[in-house]
């Protein structure tokens, strides 16, 4: 270890405050597991997320059928985690969320995002998570309308009103993310970290 930091040969790329240097690798023309066309693009990016660490983002996108699969994995093995966060205002909506495909996300009594084969991993914020739940409730409402299930339609409408108030920062809401792989996090000093 030298006394002074020694410059390495490779110049550091310019980076924004929130977006540390990423190295992307892309492979195109792979066979899609769904439609079997050779139009699948695989992307792997190594990224450093402040207060989370170095992680890898993987994604598969098919240009023919639109198949999309993505996940995120921390560079080192992590213990199972559970984050609990109360979103109380507009500022809280911007809090960064890292959600792997193995994570379960719960928003109050309104809804949840479950892990599984079709689940994706991504980096988003609290607003992004709430919007995904909102889309789920909208689909649920539409299906219930088609089946003339009035009780479910009313319940879904009330949930949508509540979600809108949460998105306007007018109503507090508790968000819980648990991940047995430890590849998820809510990046805020207000978030409580524990065991699932």
Contacting positions for Zn ion (CB under 5 A): 32, 34-35, 62, 64-65, 67
Closer by beta carbon to Zn ion, 58 or else 106: 58
Shortest Å, Cβ 66 to Zn ion? 7
In the complex with Zn ion, which residue's Cβ is closer, 54 or 64? Answer: 64
Minimum distance of Zn ion from residue 30's CB (angstroms): 10
d(CA 155, CA 149): 10
The span from the first CA to the last CA of the chain, in angstroms, equals: 40
Question: CB of residue 26 vs Zn ion: minimum separation in angstroms?
Answer: 17
E strand or H helix that includes residue 90: helix 90-93
Least spacing, CB of residue 39 vs Zn ion, in Å: 6
d(CA 99, CA 124): 8
CB atoms within 10 A of CB 170: 11
Dihedral (C-alpha) 161, 163, 165, 168: value to the nearest 10 degrees?
Answer: -140
């Amino acid at each position: 270890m030298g006394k002074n930091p020694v410059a390495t040969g490779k110049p550091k790329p310019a980076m924004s405050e929130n977006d540390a240097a990423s190295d992307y690798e892309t492979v195109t023309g792979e066979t899609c597991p769904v439609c079997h066309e050779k139009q699948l693009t695989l992307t792997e990016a190594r990224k450093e997320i402040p207060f989370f660490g170095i992680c890898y983002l993987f994604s598969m996108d098919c240009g023919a059928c639109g198949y999309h699969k993505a996940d995120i994995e921390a560079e080192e093995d992590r213990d199972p985690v559970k984050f609990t966060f109360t979103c109380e205002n507009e500022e809280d909506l911007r809090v960064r969320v890292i959600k792997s495909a193995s994570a379960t996300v719960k928003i109050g009594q309104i809804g949840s995002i479950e892990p599984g084969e079709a689940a994706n991993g991504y980096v988003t914020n609290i607003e992004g998570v709430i919007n995904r739940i909102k889309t789920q409730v909208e689909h649920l409402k539409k299906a219930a309308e088609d089946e003339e299930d009035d009780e479910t339609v009313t319940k879904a409408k009330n949930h949508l009103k509540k979600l809108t108030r949460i998105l306007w920062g007018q109503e507090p809401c508790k968000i819980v993310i648990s991940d047995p792989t430890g590849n998820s996090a809510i990046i805020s000093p207000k978030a409580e970290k524990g065991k699932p």
